[in-house]
Amino acid sequence: MTPLLTNSRNIPAAKEFLKWWFRDDQYNAWWRLQEGYHLQHVKKSADDPIWFKMGYAGPPGEKASLALSKYIVVDTFAKAVQSGDAAGAIKWGADQLQRIYG
């Protein structure tokens, strides 16, 4: 197995940064500030109250991450603005999500 963080010029500092970044006080402050802009990637945040503040509280997972990484919601808005066809853009976005979620 290849050790992690081997591409850093300063492996001890990189490890210390990650320890600091994921400390509860530091990470949770950032998490709440950005209000769930990114899908959580740590199990302990799965039940964070931020999810219930934002509308549908769908479960985080591979499908949600794929939808986020493909910028489907962002692109749906962009298509609506650029084309002037909101209905067509929403249909496109719904079709993209249907491909992911089935």
Residue 36 pLDDT level (bands cut at 50, 70, 90): low
Which helix (H) or strand (E) segment is 26 a member of?
helix 24-33
Query: Can you give the C-alpha Rg of the chain in angstroms?
Result: 18
Taking the C-alpha atoms of residue 8 and residue 96, their distance in angstroms, rounded to an integer, is 38
pTM: 0.50
Q: Are 75 and 90 in contact (CB under 8 A)?
A: no
Round the average pLDDT of the chain to a whole number and report it.
84
Q: Which two tokens stand for residue 18?
A: 């990650």
Q: For the segment 65-102, what is each residue's pLDDT rounded down to a tens digit? A: 899 889 999 999 999 999 999 999 999 999 999 999 99
Coil, strand, or helix at residue 61?
coil
